[in-house]
Amino acid sequence: MDFTKSGIPGFSVTDSFADVKQRLDDVHEHNDFGFESVRGYLELGGNRYLAGIDQNPVTHGIECVELRELFKGDTFEGIALGEMSAQEFAGELVKIGSVPIMEIEMVWWPVERVSFFLYEDVPSAIGWWGKDLTLDKVKAIFAGRIEDLNPNVYHFYKP
């Protein structure tokens, strides 16, 4: 499956939380903090992906939609996932968009509002983020304000 910066086919961070939730199978809901998050499975291109949706506690819209399990052959904007290091992957992202912000467990693509969770230094999950964010760290990242973050943890990609 080729994922794009615009999101998961058939999903958008601008969709209603309830509508996206209904598209998942085997849904597990969490409502511990005054807002909802759900995990479930989504059938795409013959694969069953583990998906998660987090609700913004203020707007009740979608804060983040993510795919937590990727499959062999999956790509992002034509870039192979699961086959290169985080540094190599970030170098490919620079060729088609903004300069990523790196940390030990995540590659953040700020202008495009996409994040890639790393497992053993390899992109293994993708998150698409909405406009109304609640976490200060995530707000700073997507605003490109790296100076507001711990310099020992976050840095812009450098070849």
Helix, strand, coil: what percent of the chain each, to 5?
Answer: 15, 40, 45
Q: Among 46-50, 115-119, 142-146, whose mean pLDDT is lowest?
A: 142-146
Give how far the C-alpha of residue 88 lies from the chain's centroid of Cα atoms, to the nearest Å. 18
Integer angstrom CA distances of residue 147 from 24, 58, 113, 138, 152: 38, 26, 18, 13, 11
The whole-angstrom separation of Cα 72 and Cα 127 is 18
Q: Could you list the residue range(s) of the whole structural domain that residue 40 is in?
A: 2-156
How many Cα atoms within 13 Å fall on the side-chain side of residue 136?
4
The whole-angstrom separation of Cα 36 and Cα 29 is 7
Rg of the chain over CA atoms, in angstroms? 15
pLDDT-derived band at 46, boundaries 50, 70, 90: very high
pLDDT-derived band at 32, boundaries 50, 70, 90: low
How many domains is the chain partitioned into structurally?
1
Mean pLDDT of 44-57: 92
**Has this prediction a pTM greater than 0.85?**
yes
CATH number, domain at 25? Answer: 2.60.460
Predicted confidence (pLDDT) at residue 137 exceeds the cutoff of 80: yes
Q: Can you give the pLDDT at residue 156?
A: 93
Query: Which residue type, as a one-letter code, is found at position 120?
Result: E
